[in-house]
Amino acid sequence: MTSASIHPSAYVEEGAQIGEGCSVGPFCHIGPEVVLGQGVVLKSHVVVTGQTEIGDETVVFPFSVLGEIPQDLKFKGEKTRLVIGKRNRIREHVTMNTGTMGGGGVTRVGDDGLFMAGCHVAHDAQVGDRVIVVNSAALAGHCVVEDDVIIGGLSGVHQWVRIGRGAIIGAVTMVTNDVIPYGLVQAPRGKLDGLNLVGLKRKGVARSDITALRAAFQMLAQGEGAFQDRARRLGEETQSDYVREIVDFVLGDSDRSFLTPG
């Protein structure tokens, strides 16, 4: 065991790897295959089990459960993993499950995320960096959530859905189809209602790129032909890297159709 602060009431099973400077609070339970990076803080009453890795300086608040088996009836006890990156803030009652062999075997969460109270990350989800998942929102199995996404409270994301970089999902929204990068989705059944202009401006995106994104959105919303055909035409015409990112996303592999403007 390395130099770490472990409360006497915590139960750390033999085999667990606890990094330098970790703090394990009262009544935590850490399983034998868990790896905690340097400076990880488990506040109290936290369960970390399974083949779970938590990156440096991540803070986990009370009653979170990380690394339990998938909520999938096809799961038969195979060895799968949960990998959580650095400097995340995982608030009270958050659950994150390990993967399934059918989904690649790994649930992965990036760096610098904020997972607010009661939210859920299901098996085989792939979550990027600087993602915010607000209270009681849920990501179903096999979701892909790219960097800098915000998912509003009480929202649900259907299995296999992809959410592109910089998108924002409004509160109390059900997302059943892929969301383009920088998209704004709201309404109970999830309608693509514009672009995340506030997020783009906060990020310091150049006005010329924002103008190009606005024009691209209008073409996707009102142009002729199928959605993918409009995207292909955009790719032939655009000089903006941001628009190109949307084009590549739309033309990429997906198990779901797209939320389209309208």
* Active-site annotation, residues: 123-124, 141
Residue 48: its H or E element: strand 47-48
How many whole angstroms separate alpha carbon 66 and alpha carbon 205? 36
Contact between 123 and 141 (Cβ < 8 Å): yes
Q: Is 31 helix (H, G, I), strand (E, B) or coil?
A: coil
Q: What is the DSSP string of 70-135?
A: PS-TT--S---EEEE-SS-EE-TT-EEE---GGGTSEEEE-SS-EE-TT-EE-TT-EE-TT-EE-T
- Nearest Cα to 51, choosing from 28, 22, 31, 72? 31
